[in-house]
């Protein structure tokens, strides 16, 4: 394929009208070929409409301490809503899924931007304007808000937490981290790489509060931290989406097509039911 035809192919394949539109490609090849199965018109193999770090594999990167979205279970397996969703996407694309070892949340966007290590980041990651300067995001797949967590016995109010002697934990570089800086500017913010460490700290009294995504707060309080409570649900109106390199628009299209199918064929509702006990999230 010439570079011009390759460009056409990328656009066409992304639009999912491959067969019909390929006929309009004036590349001298066999217009009847389908991109996935026939490479006889050319000595080189068919170009995929996107690039992958590893052939046949959708390589994921995430911070793996964000239950129930992505976490390591007792048997050492990477599991969660996002993991199942990524597997479902990979299946639609005819790929298998692999996960890189755990990475700090604030390294994820740079990893995708730099390329070469992971194809996608699915990590309960909120679409933000700042991140959009560095990566592309898929269509959103889940809505989220923030939660302000304190000890169950605390009589703090949100206002009383806005004081220098108050230590408020968050995960570094998250939207919760930003929320503290904007809304409780007098408090002493404690950015951590690990969500569980933050909750442990509130539990033991090292920190007076933590700000974290609401679905994760609800899950972790129910599972492991019955001595903590949600003081306030903060309606930030966030949307989770999958980050993809700006150099890989074909992959973004393919993921959006897969997500649309997953919504339509009921897989998304099944996964929500499995991980949240409701489809209303």
State the minimum distance, in angstroms, from the CB of residue 171 to ligand GLN: 5
**Residue closer to ligand GLN, measured from CB, 154 or 239:** 239
Pick the stretch among 111-119, 120-128, 180-188, 198-206 that binds ligand GLN (CB under 6 A): 120-128
Nearer to ligand GLN (CB atom), residue 33 or residue 126: 126
State the Cα–Cα distance between residues 217 and 233, nearest whole angstrom: 10
Distance (Å, rounded) from C-alpha 41 to C-alpha 29?
5
Q: Which stretch binds ligand GLN (CB under 6 A): 72-80, 86-94, 124-132, 151-159?
A: 124-132
Asked if residues 10 and 249 have their Cβ atoms less than 8 Å apart, the reply is yes
Please state the separation of Cα 249 from the chain's center in Å.
17
> Given the complex with ligand GLN, which of 84 and 213 has the nearer CB atom?
213
C-alpha closest to that of 58 among 238, 207, 258: 258
Q: Which stretch binds ligand GLN (CB under 6 A): 34-42, 75-83, 147-155, 168-176?
A: 168-176
Nearest to 180 by CA among 205, 146, 204, 214: 146
Let me know: does 281 contact 142? Beta carbons within 8 Å. yes
Among 60, 86, 103, 171, which residue sits at the site for ligand GLN (rule: CB under 6 A)?
A: 171
Indicate the DSSP class of residue 64. S
- Over its C-alpha atoms, the chain yields an Rg (Å, rounded) of 22
Q: Is 50 in the site for ligand GLN (CB under 6 A)?
A: no
d(CA 40, CA 29): 9
104 three-class SS: coil
Ramachandran angles phi, psi of 196, nearest 5°: -60, -40
**DSSP summary character for residue 153:** T
Q: Which residue, 12 or 148, has its beta carbon nearer to ligand GLN?
A: 148
Picking from 131, 111, 130, 129, the residue whose alpha carbon sits closest to that of residue 121 is 111
Quick one: which of 33, 175, 219, 245 contacts ligand GLN (CB under 6 A)?
Answer: 175
Shortest Å, Cβ 125 to ligand GLN: 4
| Nearer residue to ligand GLN within complex by CB, 128 or 188 | 128
Contact, 228 vs 245, CB < 8 A? no
> Is residue 66 involved in binding ligand GLN (CB under 6 A)?
yes
CA angle 26-31-37, nearest 5°?
125
Question: What would the x/- binding string for ligand GLN be over residues 206 to 245, using CB under 6 A?
Answer: -------x------------------------x-------
Smallest distance from ligand GLN to CB 91, Å: 24
Q: Count the site residues for ligand GLN by CB under 6 A.
A: 12
Q: Is 105 in the site for ligand GLN (CB under 6 A)?
A: yes
Residue 93 found at the interface with ligand GLN (CB under 6 A): no
Whichever of 147 and 161 has its CB closer to ligand GLN, that residue is 147
Q: Which stretch binds ligand GLN (CB under 6 A): 30-38, 171-179, 245-253, 269-277?
A: 171-179
Residue of 110, 1, 85 lying closest to 49 (CA atoms): 1
- Binding residues for ligand GLN, rule: CB under 6 A, are 63, 66, 105, 123-126, 171, 174-175, 213, 238
């Amino acid at each position: 394929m010439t570079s011009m035809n390759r460009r056409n192919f990328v656009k066409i394949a992304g639009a999912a009208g491959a067969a019909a539109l390929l006929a309009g490609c004036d590349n001298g090849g066999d217009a009847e070929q389908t991109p996935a199965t026939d490479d006889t018109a050319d000595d080189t193999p068919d170009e995929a409409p996107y690039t992958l770090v590893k052939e046949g594999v959708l390589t994921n990167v995430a911070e793996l301490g964000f239950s129930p979205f992505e976490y390591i279970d007792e048997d050492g397996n990477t599991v969660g809503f996002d993991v199942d969703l990524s597997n479902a996407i990979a299946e639609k694309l005819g790929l298998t899924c692999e996960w890189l070892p755990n990475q700090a949340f604030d390294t994820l966007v740079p990893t995708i931007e730099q390329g070469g290590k992971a194809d996608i980041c699915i990590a309960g990651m909120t679409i933000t304007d700042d991140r959009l300067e560095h990566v592309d995001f898929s269509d959103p797949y889940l809505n989220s808000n923030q939660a302000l967590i304190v000890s169950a016995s605390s009589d703090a109010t949100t206002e009383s937490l806005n004081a220098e002697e108050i230590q408020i934990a968050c995960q570094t570089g998250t939207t919760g981290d930003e929320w503290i800086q904007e809304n409780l500017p007098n408090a002493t913010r404690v950015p951590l790489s690990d969500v569980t460490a933050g909750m442990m700290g509130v539990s033991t009294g090292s920190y007076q509060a933590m700000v974290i995504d609401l679905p994760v707060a609800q899950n972790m309080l129910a599972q492991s931290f019955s001595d903590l409570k949600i003081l306030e649900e903060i309606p930030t109106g966030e949307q989770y989406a999958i980050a993809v390199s700006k150099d890989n628009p074909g992959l973004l299209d393919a993921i959006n097509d897969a997500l649309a199918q997953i919504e339509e064929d009921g897989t998304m509702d099944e996964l929500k039911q499995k991980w949240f006990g409701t489809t209303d999230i």
